[in-house]
Amino acid sequence: MNKKIVITILAVIIVVILGCAVYQQYKNIGSENTQPSITLIYPNGGEILNEGSVYTIKWETHNIPATNKISISIRRLPPPALSEEGQEFDPIIFTDLENTGSKEWTVSYMYPDGNYLIGINTYESLPITNPISDESDTAFQIINAPIAQATYLCDGGKTIQAVFYRGEEHPVEAGEMPIPSGIVKIVLSDGRNFNLAKTISADGGRYANPGESFVFWDKGDTTLILENGSEKDYKGCLIAE
């Protein structure tokens, strides 16, 4: 066979093979582009969110009907260890949202400090069947940022380290007493430590454990420690300059 003819045949075969490969590639790309999908944009991993602050959850959808709804959930990752009975909070943040691509979210104080993932679904209607889903690529953090901290010096060289955290605000009717919220974490120089919830907001702030066997009463420049109703080991406590 003529050498030129052989070369021409080989060239034609190569062109056909390359053409088939390119066609298949574009066919696959086109197929992928027509698949319905949802992508979580924020928070997608690595962020630090403060409890009580407002953030905007963002997402994108492709080839999703305009009538589809959106639901958003949250889950906490260990460590720290999770409760034996499951998460300590409702995992559902929003449901039946319009597919607008974003939603403002006030981070609740019910979330313990830790690492979290956001999950997002799009679906036709409730109850949810055959959802299209996405989740944060990696964990983000939720923390309760302290609003103040103080060191108190007490009689006998004893000390109290206190860190104050804001709590969730509870609206009340006009004329009603405000509902106290917030916590203080204290460390005593004898090695004991307590996480105490605020029980009274007036005159500084009174914090106590559930049984009120330990009370920390912040009065600005001074503090009062009551153990089982009386002052014991921590007396004359003044805030350090």
Residue 162, CA distances (Å) to 93, 148, 208 in order = 32, 8, 13
pLDDT in tens, 63-81: 999 999 999 999 999 876 6
Q: DSSP states of the chain as a string? A: --HHHHHHHHHHHHHHHHHHHHHHHHHHHHHHHTS-EEEEEES-SS-EEETT-EEEEEEEEES--TT-EEEEEEEEESSSPPPTTS-SS-SEEEEEEE--SEEEEEPPTTSPSEEEEEEEEEESSSSP-S-EEEE-SS-EEEE--EEEEEEEE-GGG-EEEEEEE--------TTSPPPP--EEEEEETTS-EEEEEEEE-SSSEEEE-TT-SEEEEE-SSEEEEEETTB--S--SEEE--
> Residue 203 above 70 pLDDT?
no
Mean pLDDT within 209-231: 92
* 2 vs 199, residue with greater confidence: 199
Mean pLDDT within 183-193: 95
Please check whether residue 174 is in contact with residue 187, taking contact to mean a CB–CB distance below 8 angstroms: no
Range from 110-124, 195-209, 217-231 carrying the lowest mean pLDDT: 195-209
| Share above pLDDT 70 across residues of the chain, in percent, rounded to a whole number | 81
What pLDDT is stored for residue 18 in this prediction? 53
- In sequence order, what are the residues at sequence separation of 6 or more whose Cβ sits closer than 8 angstroms to the Cβ of residue 189? 157, 158, 159, 160
> Residue 232 above 70 pLDDT?
yes
Q: Alpha-carbon distance 142 to 140, whole Å?
A: 7
What pLDDT is stored for residue 31 in this prediction? 46
* 69 vs 168, residue with greater confidence: 69
pLDDT in tens, 151-160: 999 999 999 9
Tokens representing 239 are: 């805030």
What's the maximum distance between 2 C-alpha atoms anywhere in the chain? Answer: 112
Distance from the first to the final alpha carbon of the chain: 102
Q: Is the pTM of this model over 0.85?
A: no
> Residue 115 above 80 pLDDT?
yes
- Provide the phi-psi class of 212: left if phi over 0, else alpha when psi is between -120 and 50, else beta: left
Tokens representing 176 are: 């009603």
Residue 91, CA distances (Å) to 31, 95, 102, 139 in order = 34, 11, 19, 15
Residue 159: how many other CB atoms lie within 10 Å: 15
Tokens representing 56 are: 């905007």
